[in-house]
Chain A
Amino acid sequence: MGVTGATRDGAGAGGERSADTVAGMTVEPGGPTVVRVSGPVIELDGMGDAHILDLVEVGHEHLIGEVISLRGERAVVQAHEYTGGLAPGAPAWLGSGPLTAELGPGLIGGVFDGMLRRLSVMGERLVPGARAPTLDPERRWRFTPRVSPGDHVSAGAVLGTVPESEAIEARILAPPDVAGKLEWVAAAGDYTTAEPVARVGGRELRLAHPWPLRAPRPGGMRIGASLPLSTGQRALDLLFPVARGSTAAVPGGFGTGKTVLLQQIAKWCDADVIVYVSCGERGNELADLLEEISALQDPRTGRSLLDRTVMIANTSNMPLMARELSVYAGATVAELYRDMGYDALVIADSTSRWAEALRELASRTGELPAEEGFPASLAPALASFYERSGRVQTLAGGVGSVTILGAVSPPGGDMAEPVTAHTGRFVRTMWSLDRDLAYARHYPAVSWTASSSRDVAPVAQWHSEQGDAEWAKRRGRAVALLADADRVQAVAELVGVASLPDPERIVLLTGRLLREAVLQQSALSENDARCGPGKQAALLAMVLDLHDRALELVGRGVPAARIEELDLSDAARARERVGPDDAAGVEAIADELLARLGALG
């Protein structure tokens, strides 16, 4: 039993109720039967020896569900599929453990639902009871062994490798519960995920192994998250960086450009593997993202971006409860690649929809609500999800990481609502999106006042070790100048720009330059969509140098008005004019502008 069985044809029209459903009890007398159905919540009787989170299949369509509470012989089950037509008296079957999926080569480049069913081999419409394997059972993979008979093999050891995609070499790991002497290993050659490739202590190991979808994988010792994850987005990398193995949340009301920002990160960040979890979001957006990712090249490997991406899609019209599962499935897949020694990034869009699934379940099971109808378990659930991030020493001796990035969709843009508020307690970096910025078409609309990062210090340390000791200083100056410019702007709106002292007028000008030349970034421009670290640093340095030079000029008595009249629009155009990694190109523009400015004095 499990979702990885052979593909079963869906129920199709599903209109008529067959006679044995009405009679109901002809199958497996004494087995569990349905006593209550309320949407995705089902109560079963006659459960026998069941455990919480055990897999159950319910009704003649074998709908997949999980046990969420037990009382005597009665169990409450959350169904991951549409339960229309399910009646009391229908049979159910208890599985032998939790919901599992096969983890192994073939995840990369695939599109899966929240239960890791491979969507590309399912029909146009998702019908209840349909099945699809996670991995392609027919496909043969080129296996190269890395161990020899007689070697001692422990959990997480690398048995061999498989080229999973053009960009990712999958390392075939001994499952976490295996240890002992290697008795046999297959010769290099082509194998399916069903064939044995090694034997340890009498147990045959394959290229894939089943793993409970919700269960965290044992990862080895945690080590500090001290390397930055470069997202290619200046507003994030320069002001509010996130480290590999750390966590970030993106709260933003609708229309603030949250999805575009997440998609930009999915495309351009320098993680090895991206697990994109579309949790209760739009189907069209996902189709568009898939088409784009297939067409785009990874600037680091020159390969299609799809060759490093795993998509988990549980769009908003798919069964509600599988949404809840999809974020855990995403974390589990990312941990698999972490264990291989890769840096994986989970992007969960949106954790608010996941929280709503928790609320729905709580409501239907009569749990007492805590805040705004959410169950009291909301905060711990969020905390334990984000805690699956981390940079670890893998069991095989390498280093791998899982970074978690969660979108939050606050109702009404209310940052005090429970999901946003609790998320803020557990993540290290917050990228708050601001509706006013989005309204003014300032994208990405990352607020410099409401965002924060606790990874600034380790990232600054890293930049310093890489030879850029000024990184932290530039960041500090940029943040201070932006805040100062906001303050001056507020004054200017009351008294008019002409009444400001000259140095303040320069601050206003610099604030504008910071926003237009550095923070704004066009997702549609080939040169600007991704920005490498060198170009990022050069753009910020350009604006700060212009600021210093301008202040120096007003100090020498040059009127601020003359500086304002100077055409500095090339500064704002630099990001579009030079390539994503062309720091020298920016410096050339900066030199010319500085010279133009210098000519005033």
Chain B
Amino acid sequence: MSAPIAPIEYTRVREIRGPLLVVADVEGVGWDEVGEIRLGSGEVRHGVVIEVERDLAVVEVLEGTGGIGAAGVRVAFSGSPMRIPVGEGWLGRICNGRGEPLDGGPPILSERTQAIAGEPINPASRAAPSEAVLTGVSAIDGLATLVRGQKLPIFSVGGLPHLDLAAQIAAQARAAEEPFAVVFAAIGITHADAAEVGAALAARGATGDLVVLLNTADDPLVERIVTPQIALTIAEDLAFECERHVLVVMADLTSWCEALREVAAGRGEIPSRRGYPGHLYSDLASLLERAGRIKGRPGSITQVPVLTMPAGDINHPVPDTVGYITEGQLVLSPELHAAGIYPPLDALGSLSRLMRLGAGPGRTREDHLELAAQIYALAAEARRASELAEVLGEDALSSSERTRLEFAAAMNAELLAQGRDEDRTLEETLERGWRIVSRLPRAELTMLSTAALDAHYAGVGGERGRGGGAMTVRTGVER
């Protein structure tokens, strides 16, 4: 925080409630300004003005109000909404959730500063996302390709390896040979998790294209409200001024939403669903919509937010609201995790809505989209077959249904499962994809073009299963 602090200090604190401090007798203090709060002990805390009325300013204290009394407090305001220095000086640094160094280095300085709230990209200036960000993870690259400028969240449940996956993506992601950077914002994660993430990212950190912001679970709850904003402000500059493709990983967004809820409760706002404020959608959108590309600028911002669904409920306000804003979702499955599959990605529940803009002819490989469509179709058929088997018993299945169950098992073992530090090329991912679809007779692979089959099909190619084609397969929709 480098904004110059005005010399006027206010000492009359009218009220302290939750994370909020009401300062009286202020003059000319604006909404959303930042302030510095000096306690009698000499400790300095930081705050943001969330409401002003005549000579009263309501300040949200980022570090919390614990230990603050009405007497002996001095509050000074900066005269502007919160700004941070921006530039390549952030690369290679590890900082706390407010952007202060944790790595023993000097504070980040720059001649250029930006307001952390960000200014909305003019929709008419946006370029549609295109070209892939490859992660080296088959389940993502092959089936739900991440596209430059996209926001694609990981929906998970406590106990699943979402942080491992997020760290693996952050460690391996690349945009062909173009300049790249990763901003990893940890929001309310435990120290143990933070250490594991740090270890997974060590190699990337060494190359100097990584920024880490670390707000741990025991850091003040309110501080984490600014952490993703700071991460995105750093990223915007790296992307649109320094011309890099920037991947922003934010984990765990659910903690961020809880911090919002606490502040809203402290202000006495009328709650919407499950106590979350009515402006949850807009607040989340103000973060997530900072992903994108801008016409005439070479860089891009791609976001992978991670969120845990309380009690695994996808209809919980946080995942539900995020799902309305993002362009698809990657869903982790407790069942696959229990079966020992890493990453436990639920292929059917996951979707990259922008995949067609980043994969396929002229983007990744000619056959990529049709291969993914074929794998999805077979996985959907396999799921129906397995549901049927549960009701009627496996003996009641036709041979084609049994083939699909075998296909699903092969998909989990040969395509989805991979090591936590295994970085696969797209070629390898697609070859694995072909290997599993080649377990089926060529005539049943109706989503694949003849050209693609001729080039890649590796099965026996017999006419088994003819005399029915698509219609012999149970394609009824279970309702």
A binds B: yes
Residues A373 and B270 in contact in the complex (CB < 8 Å), given A284-B292, A567-B469: yes
Contacts of B221-272 to chain A: CB distance below 8 A: 269-272
A131 to B200, CA, bound (A): 48
A39 to B115, CA, bound (A): 16
A124 to B117, CA, bound (A): 16
Q: Does A35 contact B (CB under 8 A)?
A: yes
A124 to B120, CA, bound (A): 9
Interface residue count on the A side (C-beta < 8 Å): 87
Give the residue name and chain of the A residue nearest to B466 (CB). A567
A567 pairs with B467, CB closer than 8 A: yes
Q: Please report whether the interface of chain B is mostly helix, strand, loop or mixed according to DSSP.
A: mixed
Give the residue name and chain of the A residue nearest to B264 (CB). A363
Q: Which of A186-194, A208-216, A333-341, A405-413 contacts B (4 or more CB under 8 A)?
A: A405-413
B327 pairs with A39, CB closer than 8 A: no
Q: Does A494 contact B (CB under 8 A)?
A: yes
Residues A284 and B354 in contact in the complex (CB < 8 Å), given A14-B115, A373-B278, A436-B478: yes
A89 pairs with B119, CB closer than 8 A: no
Residues A124 and B294 in contact in the complex (CB < 8 Å), given A85-B31, A436-B477, A486-B479: yes
Which residues of B are found within 8 Å of A290, using beta-carbon distances?
124, 128
B115 pairs with A15, CB closer than 8 A: yes
A414 to B281, CA, bound (A): 16
Contacts of B1-55 to chain A: CB distance below 8 A: 3, 27-33, 50-55
Give the residue name and chain of the B residue nearest to A323 (CB). B282
Among B270, B286, B478, chain A packs the most CB atoms within 10 A around the CB of B270
Which residues of B are found within 8 Å of A199, using beta-carbon distances?
none
Q: Does B357 contact A (CB under 8 A)?
A: yes
Interface size class of B (residues with CB under 8 A): 35 or more
B31 pairs with A569, CB closer than 8 A: no
A119 pairs with B122, CB closer than 8 A: yes
Q: Does A313 contact B (CB under 8 A)?
A: yes
B270 pairs with A369, CB closer than 8 A: yes
Q: Nearest Cβ in chain B — how far from A571, in angstroms?
A: 8
Which residues of B are found within 8 Å of A496, using beta-carbon distances?
392, 396
Q: Does A285 contact B (CB under 8 A)?
A: yes
Q: Does A155 contact B (CB under 8 A)?
A: no
A313 pairs with B478, CB closer than 8 A: no
Which residues of A are found within 8 Å of B460, using beta-carbon distances?
none
A39 to B121, CA, bound (A): 20
A440 to B149, CA, bound (A): 28
Q: When A and B form their complex, what is the total count of cross-chain residue pairs whose Cβ atoms lie within 8 Å? A: 242
A440 to B325, CA, bound (A): 22
Q: Does A36 contact B (CB under 8 A)?
A: yes
Residues A316 and B289 in contact in the complex (CB < 8 Å), given A35-B53, A494-B391: yes
Which residues of A are found within 8 Å of B149, using beta-carbon distances?
284
Q: Does B389 contact A (CB under 8 A)?
A: no
Q: Mark B333-349, 1 if CB is under 8 A from A, else 0.
A: 00000000000000011
B356 pairs with A119, CB closer than 8 A: no
Contacts of B103-117 to chain A: CB distance below 8 A: 113, 115, 117
Q: Which of A225-233, A395-403, A473-481, A510-518 contacts B (4 or more CB under 8 A)?
A: A510-518
Which residues of B are found within 8 Å of A413, using beta-carbon distances?
315
A478 to B478, CA, bound (A): 19
Q: Mark A75-113, 1 if CB is under 8 A from B, else 0.
A: 000000011111111000000000000000000000100
Q: Mark A554-569, 1 if CB is under 8 A from B, else 0.
A: 0000000000110111
Q: Nearest Cβ in chain B — how far from A481, in angstroms?
A: 14
B324 pairs with A254, CB closer than 8 A: yes
Q: Which of B52, B320, B356 contacts A36 (CB 8 A)?
A: B52
A37 to B286, CA, bound (A): 20
B3 pairs with A283, CB closer than 8 A: no
Give the residue name and chain of the B residue nearest to A445 (CB). B477
Which residues of B are found within 8 Å of A439, using beta-carbon distances?
348-349
Which residues of A are found within 8 Å of B53, using beta-carbon distances?
35-37, 43, 88
Give the residue name and chain of the B residue nearest to A318 (CB). B120
Q: Which of B67-75, B77-85, B187-195, B448-456 contacts A (4 or more CB under 8 A)?
A: B77-85
Q: Nearest Cβ in chain A — how far from B399, in angstroms?
A: 14
Which residues of A are found within 8 Å of B124, using beta-carbon distances?
111, 119-120, 122, 290, 313
Residues A284 and B478 in contact in the complex (CB < 8 Å), given A37-B31, A88-B55, A565-B468: no
Q: Does A217 contact B (CB under 8 A)?
A: no
B28 pairs with A22, CB closer than 8 A: yes
B282 pairs with A126, CB closer than 8 A: no
Q: Does B377 contact A (CB under 8 A)?
A: yes
Q: Which of A267-275, A296-304, A353-361 contacts B (4 or more CB under 8 A)?
A: A353-361
Q: Does B464 contact A (CB under 8 A)?
A: no
Which residues of A are found within 8 Å of B81, using beta-carbon distances?
84-85
Q: Nearest Cβ in chain B — how far from A516, in angstroms?
A: 7
A283 pairs with B121, CB closer than 8 A: yes
B351 pairs with A255, CB closer than 8 A: yes
Residues A283 and B123 in contact in the complex (CB < 8 Å), given A88-B54, A565-B468: yes
Which residues of B are found within 8 Å of A285, using beta-carbon distances?
327
A287 pairs with B126, CB closer than 8 A: yes
A535 to B80, CA, bound (A): 62
Which residues of B are found within 8 Å of A318, using beta-carbon distances?
120, 123
Q: Nearest Cβ in chain A — how far from B93, in angstroms?
A: 23
Q: Does B321 contact A (CB under 8 A)?
A: yes
Q: Nearest Cβ in chain B — how far from A73, in angstroms?
A: 14
Q: Does B476 contact A (CB under 8 A)?
A: yes
Which residues of A are found within 8 Å of B126, using beta-carbon distances?
283-284, 286-287
Instruction: List 12 other contacts, CB 8 Å, given A111-B123, A441-B377.
Output: A87-B31, A122-B124, A280-B282, A284-B292, A313-B124, A360-B282, A409-B324, A412-B317, A441-B376, A511-B476, A524-B356, A567-B467
26 contacts between A and B (CB under 8 A): A14-B115, A16-B79, A24-B28, A82-B119, A84-B117, A85-B32, A122-B122, A255-B328, A283-B123, A283-B126, A284-B126, A287-B292, A288-B354, A315-B120, A316-B289, A316-B325, A317-B121, A359-B278, A373-B278, A411-B315, A412-B320, A439-B349, A441-B377, A489-B478, A496-B392, A496-B396
Q: Contact residues of B with A, CB < 8 Å?
A: 3, 27-33, 50-55, 79-81, 83, 113, 115, 117, 119-129, 149-150, 269-273, 278-279, 281-282, 285-286, 289-292, 294, 315-317, 320-321, 323-325, 327-329, 348-349, 351, 354, 356-357, 376-377, 380, 388, 391-392, 396, 446, 467-472, 475-479
The 4 closest A-B pairs by CB, nearest first: A316-B285, A317-B289, A412-B315, A119-B124
